[in-house]
Structure 1
Protein backbone atom coordinates (compact mmCIF):
# COMPACT_ATOMS: atom_id res chain seq x y z
CA UNK A 1 0.00 0.00 0.00
CA UNK A 2 1.11 3.55 -0.57
CA UNK A 3 -0.09 7.06 0.06
CA UNK A 4 -1.60 9.03 -2.83
CA UNK A 5 -1.24 12.72 -3.58
CA UNK A 6 -4.52 13.87 -5.11
CA UNK A 7 -5.52 16.66 -7.45
CA UNK A 8 -5.84 18.96 -4.43
CA UNK A 9 -2.01 19.27 -4.63
CA UNK A 10 -0.67 22.71 -5.46
CA UNK A 11 3.01 21.69 -5.43
CA UNK A 12 3.91 22.94 -1.94
CA UNK A 13 6.78 20.45 -1.58
CA UNK A 14 6.76 20.14 2.20
CA UNK A 15 5.95 16.47 1.71
CA UNK A 16 9.24 15.95 -0.13
CA UNK A 17 11.21 17.48 2.73
CA UNK A 18 9.85 15.10 5.38
CA UNK A 19 9.80 11.86 3.37
CA UNK A 20 12.37 9.51 4.95
CA UNK A 21 12.74 7.39 1.80
CA UNK A 22 12.67 10.19 -0.81
CA UNK A 23 9.79 8.64 -2.73
CA UNK A 24 7.95 11.89 -3.57
CA UNK A 25 8.77 13.73 -6.78
CA UNK A 26 7.34 16.72 -8.63
CA UNK A 27 5.57 15.79 -11.86
CA UNK A 28 7.42 16.63 -15.06
CA UNK A 29 6.55 18.10 -17.43
CA UNK A 30 4.42 20.15 -15.08
CA UNK A 31 1.71 20.94 -17.65
CA UNK A 32 1.00 17.19 -18.03
CA UNK A 33 1.78 16.12 -14.43
CA UNK A 34 0.83 19.09 -12.21
CA UNK A 35 1.06 17.36 -8.80
CA UNK A 36 3.71 15.68 -6.73
CA UNK A 37 3.69 11.90 -7.03
CA UNK A 38 4.58 9.11 -4.59
CA UNK A 39 6.55 6.14 -5.92
CA UNK A 40 4.46 3.15 -4.79
CA UNK A 41 7.46 0.82 -4.91
CA UNK A 42 9.46 3.01 -2.52
CA UNK A 43 6.79 4.39 -0.16
CA UNK A 44 6.95 2.75 3.29
CA UNK A 45 3.48 4.04 4.22
CA UNK A 46 4.82 5.99 7.20
CA UNK A 47 2.42 8.92 6.70
CA UNK A 48 4.99 11.62 7.48
CA UNK A 49 3.85 13.54 4.40
CA UNK A 50 0.19 13.78 5.39
CA UNK A 51 0.38 16.47 8.11
CA UNK A 52 2.98 18.38 6.11
CA UNK A 53 0.59 19.12 3.23
CA UNK A 54 -1.12 22.50 3.70
CA UNK A 55 -3.79 21.47 1.16
CA UNK A 56 -4.76 18.15 2.81
CA UNK A 57 -4.13 16.51 -0.56
CA UNK A 58 -2.48 13.28 0.66
CA UNK A 59 -4.36 10.16 1.72
CA UNK A 60 -3.57 6.50 2.37
CA UNK A 61 -4.52 4.75 -0.87
CA UNK A 62 -7.48 2.94 0.67
CA UNK A 63 -8.81 6.21 2.14
CA UNK A 64 -8.81 8.43 -0.96
CA UNK A 65 -12.34 9.84 -0.88
CA UNK A 66 -14.83 9.02 -3.59
CA UNK A 67 -17.02 11.81 -2.21
CA UNK A 68 -14.73 14.56 -0.94
CA UNK A 69 -16.87 17.40 0.39
CA UNK A 70 -15.18 20.77 -0.18
CA UNK A 71 -15.05 23.32 2.60
CA UNK A 72 -14.86 25.94 -0.14
CA UNK A 73 -11.83 27.65 -1.58
CA UNK A 74 -9.75 24.53 -2.16
CA UNK A 75 -8.26 24.19 -5.60
CA UNK A 76 -7.99 21.19 -7.83
CA UNK A 77 -5.24 21.01 -10.41
CA UNK A 78 -5.29 18.98 -13.61
CA UNK A 79 -3.18 18.67 -16.75
CA UNK A 80 -3.38 21.65 -19.09
CA UNK A 81 -6.33 21.29 -21.46
CA UNK A 82 -8.61 19.47 -18.99
CA UNK A 83 -12.15 20.82 -19.55
CA UNK A 84 -13.38 23.03 -16.70
CA UNK A 85 -9.89 23.70 -15.33
CA UNK A 86 -9.34 27.21 -16.63
CA UNK A 87 -8.08 29.15 -13.59
CA UNK A 88 -4.41 30.03 -13.19
CA UNK A 89 -2.89 29.52 -9.75
CA UNK A 90 0.08 31.60 -8.66
CA UNK A 91 1.39 30.94 -5.17
CA UNK A 92 4.55 30.00 -3.32
CA UNK A 93 5.79 26.62 -2.17
CA UNK A 94 7.19 25.42 1.16
CA UNK A 95 10.53 27.09 0.38
CA UNK A 96 9.01 30.41 -0.70
CA UNK A 97 9.61 29.69 -4.40
CA UNK A 98 6.91 30.62 -6.93
CA UNK A 99 4.39 28.01 -8.06
CA UNK A 100 2.49 28.62 -11.30
CA UNK A 101 -0.20 26.19 -12.42
CA UNK A 102 -2.15 26.74 -15.62
CA UNK A 103 -5.16 24.46 -15.12
CA UNK A 104 -6.93 24.70 -11.78
CA UNK A 105 -10.44 25.31 -10.50
CA UNK A 106 -11.71 26.55 -7.15
CA UNK A 107 -14.12 24.28 -5.31
CA UNK A 108 -17.30 25.69 -3.81
CA UNK A 109 -18.38 24.92 -0.23
CA UNK A 110 -20.35 21.67 -0.21
CA UNK A 111 -19.19 20.62 -3.68
CA UNK A 112 -18.57 16.87 -3.81
CA UNK A 113 -15.59 15.61 -5.80
CA UNK A 114 -14.47 12.04 -6.52
CA UNK A 115 -10.71 11.94 -5.89
CA UNK A 116 -10.33 8.19 -6.53
CA UNK A 117 -9.29 8.62 -10.21
CA UNK A 118 -6.12 10.25 -8.83
CA UNK A 119 -4.97 6.84 -7.57
CA UNK A 120 -4.55 5.53 -11.12
CA UNK A 121 -2.86 8.77 -12.19
CA UNK A 122 -0.20 8.26 -9.50
CA UNK A 123 0.52 4.70 -10.66
CA UNK A 124 0.49 5.77 -14.33
CA UNK A 125 3.10 8.43 -13.63
CA UNK A 126 5.56 5.83 -12.41
CA UNK A 127 4.62 3.28 -15.06
CA UNK A 128 4.60 5.53 -18.12
CA UNK A 129 5.75 9.00 -17.16
CA UNK A 130 9.09 10.62 -16.44
CA UNK A 131 8.95 9.24 -12.89
CA UNK A 132 9.21 5.69 -14.22
CA UNK A 133 12.07 3.70 -12.79
CA UNK A 134 13.26 0.42 -14.28
CA UNK A 135 14.32 -0.57 -10.76
CA UNK A 136 10.61 -0.97 -9.77
Structure 2
Protein backbone atom coordinates (compact mmCIF):
# COMPACT_ATOMS: atom_id res chain seq x y z
CA UNK A 1 0.00 0.00 0.00
CA UNK A 2 1.05 3.60 -0.58
CA UNK A 3 -0.36 7.06 -0.13
CA UNK A 4 -1.63 9.16 -3.01
CA UNK A 5 -1.95 12.92 -3.50
CA UNK A 6 -5.28 13.87 -5.07
CA UNK A 7 -6.81 16.89 -6.78
CA UNK A 8 -7.28 19.15 -3.77
CA UNK A 9 -3.51 19.70 -3.77
CA UNK A 10 -3.77 21.44 -7.15
CA UNK A 11 -3.06 25.16 -6.73
CA UNK A 12 -2.92 24.75 -2.91
CA UNK A 13 0.46 22.98 -2.76
CA UNK A 14 1.07 23.66 0.93
CA UNK A 15 4.12 21.34 1.22
CA UNK A 16 3.87 20.72 4.97
CA UNK A 17 3.87 17.01 4.12
CA UNK A 18 7.34 16.92 2.57
CA UNK A 19 9.13 17.85 5.78
CA UNK A 20 7.79 14.89 7.73
CA UNK A 21 8.29 12.21 5.07
CA UNK A 22 11.02 9.84 6.32
CA UNK A 23 11.79 8.50 2.83
CA UNK A 24 11.56 11.71 0.76
CA UNK A 25 9.01 10.30 -1.68
CA UNK A 26 7.34 13.60 -2.67
CA UNK A 27 7.84 15.10 -6.11
CA UNK A 28 7.01 18.63 -7.17
CA UNK A 29 4.95 19.74 -10.11
CA UNK A 30 4.24 23.31 -11.11
CA UNK A 31 1.03 23.45 -9.06
CA UNK A 32 0.81 20.23 -7.01
CA UNK A 33 2.83 17.49 -5.38
CA UNK A 34 2.74 13.73 -5.92
CA UNK A 35 3.99 10.73 -3.97
CA UNK A 36 6.06 8.02 -5.65
CA UNK A 37 4.06 4.90 -4.74
CA UNK A 38 7.10 2.61 -5.09
CA UNK A 39 9.03 4.70 -2.55
CA UNK A 40 6.23 5.33 -0.03
CA UNK A 41 6.56 3.11 3.04
CA UNK A 42 2.93 3.54 4.09
CA UNK A 43 3.74 5.29 7.35
CA UNK A 44 0.99 7.90 6.94
CA UNK A 45 2.80 10.73 8.73
CA UNK A 46 2.07 13.05 5.80
CA UNK A 47 -1.71 12.75 6.06
CA UNK A 48 -2.31 14.91 9.17
CA UNK A 49 0.23 17.47 7.91
CA UNK A 50 -1.77 18.25 4.74
CA UNK A 51 -3.97 21.31 5.39
CA UNK A 52 -5.84 20.63 2.14
CA UNK A 53 -6.62 17.02 3.15
CA UNK A 54 -5.44 15.87 -0.28
CA UNK A 55 -3.50 12.74 0.75
CA UNK A 56 -5.17 9.33 1.04
CA UNK A 57 -4.09 5.69 1.31
CA UNK A 58 -4.40 3.97 -2.05
CA UNK A 59 -7.14 1.78 -0.57
CA UNK A 60 -9.40 4.79 0.09
CA UNK A 61 -12.14 5.46 -2.51
CA UNK A 62 -10.78 9.01 -2.91
CA UNK A 63 -7.51 7.56 -4.20
CA UNK A 64 -8.85 6.11 -7.42
CA UNK A 65 -6.62 4.00 -9.68
CA UNK A 66 -6.34 7.07 -11.92
CA UNK A 67 -4.79 9.08 -9.05
CA UNK A 68 -2.39 6.26 -8.23
CA UNK A 69 -1.32 6.15 -11.89
CA UNK A 70 -0.95 9.93 -12.04
CA UNK A 71 1.20 9.96 -8.88
CA UNK A 72 3.41 7.21 -10.30
CA UNK A 73 3.74 8.84 -13.72
CA UNK A 74 4.71 12.29 -12.52
CA UNK A 75 6.87 11.12 -9.60
CA UNK A 76 9.00 9.50 -12.28
CA UNK A 77 9.56 12.78 -14.12
CA UNK A 78 9.13 15.65 -11.63
CA UNK A 79 11.96 16.70 -9.27
CA UNK A 80 12.14 15.43 -5.71
CA UNK A 81 11.20 17.85 -2.93
CA UNK A 82 12.25 17.35 0.70
CA UNK A 83 11.70 20.74 2.29
CA UNK A 84 8.73 23.02 2.69
CA UNK A 85 8.62 26.11 0.53
CA UNK A 86 6.25 29.05 0.59
CA UNK A 87 2.88 27.92 -0.73
CA UNK A 88 1.08 29.88 -3.44
CA UNK A 89 -0.29 33.18 -2.14
CA UNK A 90 -3.79 32.23 -3.29
CA UNK A 91 -3.58 28.60 -2.13
CA UNK A 92 -6.15 29.03 0.61
CA UNK A 93 -8.68 30.37 -1.90
CA UNK A 94 -8.28 27.20 -4.01
CA UNK A 95 -8.62 24.79 -1.05
CA UNK A 96 -11.75 22.69 -1.53
CA UNK A 97 -12.67 24.14 -4.92
CA UNK A 98 -14.21 21.40 -7.09
CA UNK A 99 -13.12 20.55 -10.62
CA UNK A 100 -9.52 21.63 -10.22
CA UNK A 101 -7.98 18.76 -12.17
CA UNK A 102 -9.76 19.33 -15.47
CA UNK A 103 -9.38 23.09 -15.36
CA UNK A 104 -6.04 23.66 -13.60
CA UNK A 105 -3.75 20.61 -13.47
CA UNK A 106 -0.31 21.30 -14.92
CA UNK A 107 1.99 18.50 -16.06
CA UNK A 108 4.94 20.88 -15.92
CA UNK A 109 7.59 20.07 -13.30
CA UNK A 110 8.25 22.24 -10.30
CA UNK A 111 11.68 23.39 -9.15
CA UNK A 112 12.39 20.66 -6.56
CA UNK A 113 14.96 21.25 -3.84
TM-score range, shorter chain: 0.5 to 0.7
Q: Larger % of strand: which?
A: 1
Change (3 A) 1:37 1:4: same
Aligned to 2:24: 22
Aligned to 2:56: 59
Once the 2 structures are TM-superposed, how far is the Cα of residue 3 of structure 1 from its aligned partner? 0.1
Work out which of the two has the higher radius of gyration on C-alpha atoms and give 1 or 2: 1
Give every structure 1 segment of 4 or more consecutive aligned residues whose post-TM-superposition deviation is greater than 3 Å. none
Q: Deviations over 1:37-87 (max 9, x none)?
A: 11112111000000000011000011042xxxxxxxxxxxxxxxxxxxxxx
1:123 aligned onto 2:72: yes
**Structure 2: 5+ residue stretches without partners:** 81-113
Tell me the TM-score normalized by structure 2. Answer: 0.61
**Structure 1: 5+ residue stretches without partners:** 66-114
Match of 2:17, SS state, is helix
Tell me the TM-score normalized by structure 1. Answer: 0.51
The alignment's C-alpha RMSD in Å is: 1.8
Residue correspondence of structure 1 range 51-130 to structure 2 within 5 A: 51-65=48-62, 116=64, 117-127=66-76, 129-130=77-78
2: distance between equivalents of 1:125 and 1:49?
Answer: 19
Match of 1:51, SS state, is helix
Q: Larger % of helix: which?
A: 2
Check conservation: 2:27, 2:75, Cα contact below 8 A.
Answer: no
Q: How many residues align?
A: 77
